[in-house]
Amino acid sequence: MSSARAQANHKLYLAKILLAGWRQAVAAQDVPALTLAQAYLPAVRNHLLDAYGWFLLQVSGSEHWPARPPHCCAHLPEIAGGKAVSGEIREFEQLEASGWLAELLAEPSEPAGTARARGNLAAPPPTLADCAQVQQWVTRLEGVFDRMSDSLDEY
């Protein structure tokens, strides 16, 4: 199996492909933007969460990888006795609690009783992320991956 970082990069790449397709579909204006968000967001978000999880495994120093990566620090494998939690993991824990990672990790939910627009089968949740929001997540993930990889390479 390739490295966890390679897995993270691959998942990030897949998310970018979907994001590009989403943007093209929005630009075509054949389908309402909110309906496109309902179609694309879950898949893009899943790839981003997987990318994040693989990177978490990389920075945690875990040598045993699960079949599917964790999507948050709380689901990382136990740290070996005598080892301290790395600064990178502590930073991620803070971002998961309140920050852009908290937004990415938040499960999109549709409030009960959301009315559907006439002639539209989809009932859009009012807080659904759009292409611009997802692009911010991609950019921030890339930035933190690069920054932390540079510091990990120094060890």
pLDDT value of residue 147: 92
pLDDT in tens, 52-63: 999 999 998 887
Predicted pLDDT at 122? 62
- Global pTM value: 0.86
**CB atoms near residue 101 (< 10 Å):** 22
CB 100 within 8 A of CB 136: yes
Q: Would you state the structure tokens that stand for residue 154, as one six-digit string?
A: 């120094």
Share of the chain above pLDDT 90, in %: 66
The band of 80, judged by pLDDT with boundaries at 50, 70 and 90, is confident
Expressed in percent and rounded to 5, the helix, strand and coil fractions of the chain are 60, 0, 40
Is residue 4 within 8 Å of 54, Cβ to Cβ?
yes
- C-alpha separations of 93 from 70, 82, 97, 133 in Å: 13, 20, 6, 21
Mean pLDDT of the chain, nearest integer: 87
Give residue-wise pLDDT tens across range 1-17: 468 999 999 999 999 99
Cα–Cα distance between 120 and 107 in angstroms, integer? 23
- Percentage of the chain exceeding pLDDT 70: 83
Over residues 70-76, the mean pLDDT reads 95
